[in-house]
Chains A and B, each alone.
Chain A
Amino acid sequence: MNLTFSPEEQAFRAEVRRFLADALPSDISERVRLGRHLRADDHLRWQNILSEQGWLASNWPKAHGGPGWGPVQRHIFDEECAAAHAPTVVPFGVNMVAPVIMKFGSIEQQQHYLPRILSNQDWWCQGYSEPGAGSDLAGLNTRAVRDGDHYIVNGQKTWTTLGQHANMLFCLVRTDPNAKKQAGISFLLIDMQTPGITVRPIITLDGAHEVNEIFLDNVCVPVENRVGEEGQGWTCAKFLLTHERTGIAGLGHAKQALRHVKSLASRIQHRGKPLLELPSFRQRVVKAELELMALEVTNLRVIAAARDGGVPGAESSLLKVRGSELRQELSELTRRALGPAALPFFPDFLHGDGGLDDERAQSAAASAQYFNRRKLSIYGGANEIQKSIVAKTILGM
């Protein structure tokens, strides 16, 4: 066994690092570094640069216009992006609906949608959760009734991330209320301009407008916008959940966050000495360091297995649980490190274009991010759901 990257992989890392140094606009990386929310245009500018480089769809095969990277290269790319404060690519198009269209979509759907995703023409959002269907996703109630060449869709979706910018929605709907609950679900692609769609912001406890509710009121969707067969929607949804989840630990982000905590705690003074020398604080940093080391090797084990042809299944759940816990702990340490400076809250600066003096700007996001990071153990299948998945699929309980 060895844990070192090959010379080719190291050269690839250097190439990614060079590209990021040259191509990532400094105003965007500065917004990410300070924890300010990105505007739609910030996302688009960066994703257009990636698109031009051919690196936007890092998980796509070459045949569809992706770079054809393996799991190791994707891991390196993600790590370097996080270290350079590059924005995370909005995943709903390239990483979520695209693999479903490639796997289950018709040739026409592939030819129409995939190039538009690759060129950032469409901004996709996800219509999965509903007020009554969170962890129990298959309990969804949004109803689609066939009417000639169309479905008439009625219902409500929620937690739709960045839906306020999206022009396309992929949506799980119930087409057969009499079938067993997973069997009556279909997967629809819906144009957000269609009459009857209302998007309402949900403001989260950090003051951010990141997620939305979407109301569908007699929305008319052409049958040709269904992916796969009627009643096959759950298969598509499950495929999405197992597809390429080696990045789920958020290792690059955790590494960056730990570097930040250490540098912060080396600068901030406590009784005339760096905070990092306060034993109780240092002990927590050391524990986070250990957890990160373990998580990194576990992540590499899963990546190596994926590279060698395995399918990361339930192991992703382990990565998700431990990765989210670690990132939450690091956001806690960042907030604590700042002491009283963590109290002032400047929403105009964090979520808009408001200005702030340089010193305050450095610490402005810490507490808001701490609250924002609570989502990590809730979304994508709450950590308790992940544990139940492990109990069932790995331990056979």
Chain B
Amino acid sequence: MDFALTDEQRMLEETLTRLVADQVSPEQRRTMLAAAPSGASALWRTFAELGLLHMPFNEDVGGLGGNGTDLMIIMQALGRGLVPEAYLAGLVLPGQLLALTANGEQQTRWLAPLLEGEHQLALAWQESGARYDAFAIVTQATQRNGQWQLNGRKDVVLNLEAAAATLVTARLDNGKLGLFIVPADAPGSSTHLYRTIDDQPAGELVLSNVTLALENCLSDDASDALAEVLALGRAALCAEAIGAMEEACDQTLAYLKERKQFGLPLATFQALQHRMVDMHLHLEQSRSMAILAATSLSLPTSERDYNIAAAKAYCGESARFIAEQAIQLHGGMGMTEECYVAHYAKHLVMFDHYLGDSDYHLETVSELLK
């Protein structure tokens, strides 16, 4: 039992904290969000130089072999700064799925440049009819004349605009889950781009008779790999939410100490003190769950899924609680676009809509309850 970070991990944490403080101030963030997502920002190049793009991948695919704790440190720092880079959606999720499914040639073509920061990817696993269920999809892939043909519609694909190609799940004729890599310029594919309410670049990917060569099929049975990658993504999201919760709590506490009403700082009122403590309690309990998730990635599948579903459900509810309290305790200011905590609040509420919400994950815990 050990909760301490190694020396390397502490250095990683310090480096990231400095980087976020230097390069992602509220004004810098606003400027970054105003630009079209390209996957090649100055900050992304810095990530590459610092080895962050290699960190979460195994050595056998050219990564640095970082574990769940390393990923947690990175995600937490990105969450603290609300850093507008698609680290998870554009690098970790599609990259891990490639690492698990792609053959040598496919890895050379798609994974190696990803780790070098030469391109970003996206992962299209979600469909509007299936809500959060990654396996109840209707997009079809059929093999004909030595080619694959894909038809369907993928919903809320994060990082779609910047991605050189998108990993797409599709149902095969034999009922199994296939995984394909669809280049951005593939004929028959089209996109409807937008930003989510918490500022993430995303879009809908429409596949209309998209014809792909055989080598664009990454797997003809990708269920287990997808489940593994989604589990990793959920653990990573929990860690990111911890960073955002920390910052929302810190900003709220600072505001309570500085803002005066009735001639006294708000922090002197007991009703507000206890509300602030409740936020802190939610944060610390959620941190424990995020640690549990990060250290569960290599457990046997059912244990892994149980712990991570529990963590995602728990953090989802805490994140919403902290977001709502942060707005309430900031009073009218918390309602404004100008108030930075409002952006954290938006992300913390919408956290529950990424990779399955509390209800979805509570159901998983309920099904696996021992």
Q: Interface of A with B (CB < 8 Å)?
A: 1-6, 9, 72, 262, 282-283, 285-287, 289-291, 293-298, 300-301, 303-305, 308, 318, 321-322, 384, 387-388, 390-391, 394-397
Contacts and interface: CB of A to CB of B under 8 A. Distances in A.
8 contacts: A1-B294, A72-B1, A289-B365, A289-B369, A290-B365, A298-B284, A301-B288, A397-B256
B276 A1 contact: no
A290 B314 contact: yes
Contacts of B267: 397
Interface stretch (B2-10, B30-38, B75-83, B319-327): B2-10
Given A283-B362, A294-B288, A397 B1 contact: no
Nearest to B265: A397
Contacts of A395: 253, 273, 276-277, 280
Contact of B274 (A282, A291, A388): A388
Contacts of B362: 283, 286-287, 290
Contacts of A262: 369
Contacts of B241: none
B295 interface: yes
A305 to B, nearest CB: 8
A394 B280 contact: yes
Nearest to A392: B273
Contacts of A297: 288-289, 291-292
Nearest to A299: B288
> Could you say which interface size class chain B belongs to?
35 or more
Contacts of A295: 285, 288
Given A2-B295, A297-B292, A303-B1, 4 more contacts: A1-B3, A287-B362, A387-B274, A397-B267
A251 to B, nearest CB: 12
Contact of B281 (A286, A303, A304, A318): A318
Contacts of B276: 391, 395, 397
A9 to B, nearest CB: 8
A308 B4 contact: yes
Interface string B310-344: 10011000000000000000000000000000000
Contacts of B253: 395, 397
Contacts of A286: 362, 365-366, 369
Given A1-B294, A2-B1, A294 B289 contact: yes
B310 A3 contact: no
B1 A294 contact: no
B257 interface: yes
Nearest to B294: A1
B274 A1 contact: no
Contacts of B365: 286, 289-290
Contacts of A294: 285-286, 288-289, 292, 314
B1 A304 contact: yes
B28 interface: no
Interface string B1-44: 11111000000000000000000000000000000000000000
Given A290-B313, A387-B273, A395-B277, A285 B369 contact: yes
A391 B286 contact: no
B128 interface: no
Interface string B269-301: 010011011101100111011011011000000
B266 to A, nearest CB: 9
Contacts of A391: 273-274, 276-277
A304 B288 CA distance: 13
Given A3-B292, A283-B366, A318 B284 contact: yes
Contacts of B294: 1
Given A290-B313, A297-B291, A298-B288, A1 B5 contact: yes
Contact of A321 (B281, B289, B310): B281
Given A1-B4, A397-B267, A397-B273, A293 B289 contact: yes
A4 B291 CA distance: 12
B69 interface: yes
Contact of B1 (A5, A282, A322): A5
Contacts of A322: 281, 285
Nearest to A276: B369
Which 10 residue pairs of A and B lie closest in terms of their CB atoms, listed nearest first?
A297-B288, A391-B273, A294-B285, A397-B267, A387-B277, A298-B288, A390-B277, A387-B274, A1-B69, A294-B288
